[in-house]
């Protein structure tokens, strides 16, 4: 399902001959940097104020995060859709409904 978007992003990259820079370690760094730029929109603010002030930039930075995620999945030949479905199943086991209902605790802190 992500293939058409990945194709567009790879075309953008290849026109600029940027594949040479896109090793997985630097892609992971870049993904983290873009996530921080997204978060910066919420610095010193409530969610509501951040959205009022910065929604356009929030949309752009969220897009950048996913663009780098798609580039990394492409570089590592990860089927992202399968990976997400598998992770939801794993999270379902880490966070059983009866123990985690209405709780924000980390799975390591869930009590028996």
Residues in region 5-64 near its own copies by CB under 8 A: 5, 8-9, 12, 15-18, 20-21, 23-26, 28-47, 50-51, 55, 58-60, 62-64
Q: At what angle do helices 47-75 and 3-15 cross, to 10 degrees?
A: 80
CA 3 to chain centre: 17
CB-nearer residue toward its own copies: 47 or 112: 47
Q: Which of residues 65-104 bind its own copies (CB under 8 A)?
A: 65-67, 69, 72-73, 76, 78, 80-81, 83-88, 90-92, 95, 97, 100-104
**110 touches its own copies by CB under 8 A:** no
Residue pair 34/61 in contact by the 8 Å Cβ criterion? yes
């Amino acid at each position: 399902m992500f293939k058409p978007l990945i194709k567009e992003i790879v075309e953008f990259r290849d026109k600029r001959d940027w594949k040479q820079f896109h090793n997985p370690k630097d892609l992971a760094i870049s993904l983290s940097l873009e996530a921080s730029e997204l978060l910066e929109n919420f610095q010193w603010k409530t969610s509501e104020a951040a959205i009022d002030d910065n929604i356009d930039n929030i949309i752009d930075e969220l897009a950048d995060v996913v663009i780098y995620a798609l580039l990394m999945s492409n570089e590592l030949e990860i089927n992202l859709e399968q990976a997400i479905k598998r992770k939801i199943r794993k999270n379902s086991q880490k966070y059983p409904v009866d123990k985690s209902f209405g709780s924000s605790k980390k799975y390591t802190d869930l009590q028996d």
